[in-house]
Copies of this chain bind each other. A is one copy, B any other.
Amino acid sequence: MQSPETFPALAYETSLQLNADGELRHLLTLKGLSRDLLTALLDEAQHFVSQPGSATIRSRSLAGRTVANLFFEPSTRTRASFDLAGKRLGADVLNLDVNTSSRKKGESILDMIYTLQAMHVDIMVIRDASAGVPAYIAHHVEDHVSILNAGESDVSHPTQGLLDLLTIRQRLGKFENLIVTIVGDIAHSRVARSAAEGLHTLGVGELRLVSPPSLAAAPDDMPYARSLDNLDDGLRDANVVMALRIQRERIADLDGIPDSDQYFEQYGVSKKRLQVAAPDVIVMHPGPMNRGIEIESTLADSPASVITQQVSNGVAVRMAVLEWVSRTMASR
């Protein structure tokens, strides 16, 4: 076997995401994107939102374009979301399950990318367990190809961040006066990181990160946020509470992490615990949920929950991003 591939720890540079005219070409991270750009992306996504049961918003703006979903980690919901987003814009969508194919044969990831590029794939949607992969690929593709990060190790998940922002904006309007609390395995969460970056740029009132001490963010990570290990302190007056998925198999392996029942007792978001939050608090979760561990099951199904709205917004956000980078290509 070849030795495992390693990827340079590229600094995410705004210049890598934006072209010479300052337009979005790749979406790798929300870090460094301007408030104006984030707001414009949310506005665009809002156009693609339709009500449950009503006809989906569709267009042919990506007709003739090819989108490849290149998932090196298994995924149902994010893959399905990008798949539908591409199809509803008229793109040809190529779904590649890469675990079972060429990467096994020792082909480098770049050679696989060059191959797709040579097949005239315009937009590559990448999920990978290794940090740095999307930026590494973006750094190497030709000018006419866009890279979208669909989940990168514990680093970044920018379309998830955007759908979280969109959901908050739909429910609560402006960000400036909001207290947002993220609860769970902060240390390993790309979801928390992207949400935090977006919220920071949009000027959120206060951002709190609640976790067991062993799962807290590093001190210099997200310095604009306040880290706590007490859930009640974290929930006090919160307008938005986002519970993160706990991987129970990981919990058993780590010292200092409570088991499932203990976890729910200490860090599970429940109706009772939320009594200290703002009266109109909304509850978010990126899914898939472990009901009864990180979130109380009845809370997940209550009117305070915006979890399915997040999913709907996910398709809308991905349509907006696909259309946006496609427009950037066309303007070359």
Q: List chain A positions with a Cβ less than 8 A from chain B.
A: 2, 50, 52-53, 55-56, 58, 64, 66, 68, 74-77, 80-81, 83-84, 87-88, 92, 94, 96, 98, 100-102, 104-108, 111-112, 114-120, 142-144, 245, 247-248, 287-291, 308-312, 314-315, 332
Contacts and interface: CB of A to CB of B under 8 A. Distances in A.
Nearest to A81: B119
Given A80-B94, A288-B111, A120 B308 contact: no
A248 B96 CA distance: 24
Contacts of A77: 102, 115
B94 A66 contact: no
Name, among A53, A58, A87, the residue most crowded by chain B CB atoms within 10 Å (CB to CB): A53
A71 to B, nearest CB: 10
Across chains A and B, which 4 residue pairs bring their CB atoms closest together, nearest first? A107-B288, A53-B144, A118-B311, A76-B101
A52 B329 CA distance: 13
B118 A309 contact: yes
Given A111-B288, A119-B311, 17 more contacts: A52-B120, A52-B144, A53-B143, A56-B64, A74-B104, A75-B101, A76-B102, A76-B112, A80-B119, A84-B120, A87-B92, A106-B288, A106-B290, A115-B311, A117-B308, A118-B308, A118-B311
Nearest to A71: B101
Given A75-B101, A94-B80, A106-B248, A120 B288 contact: no
Contacts of A98: 76
A237 to B, nearest CB: 29
A310 B114 CA distance: 11
Contacts of A115: 76-77, 80, 287, 308, 311
8 contacts: A50-B120, A80-B94, A81-B119, A84-B92, A105-B288, A112-B288, A119-B311, A119-B315
B76 A83 contact: no
Nearest to A314: B119
A309 B58 CA distance: 34
Contact of A120 (B76, B118, B315): B315
B120 A101 contact: no
A312 B119 contact: yes
B74 A119 contact: no
Name, among A58, A92, A120, A332, the residue most crowded by chain B CB atoms within 10 Å (CB to CB): A120
Contacts of A118: 52, 308-312
Contacts of A81: 119
A240 to B, nearest CB: 19
Nearest to A114: B308
Contacts of A142: 52-53
Contacts of A2: 290
A104 B80 CA distance: 16
Nearest to A291: B108
Name, among A68, A106, A248, the residue most crowded by chain B CB atoms within 10 Å (CB to CB): A106
Contact of A64 (B55, B111, B143, B287): B55
A199 to B, nearest CB: 22
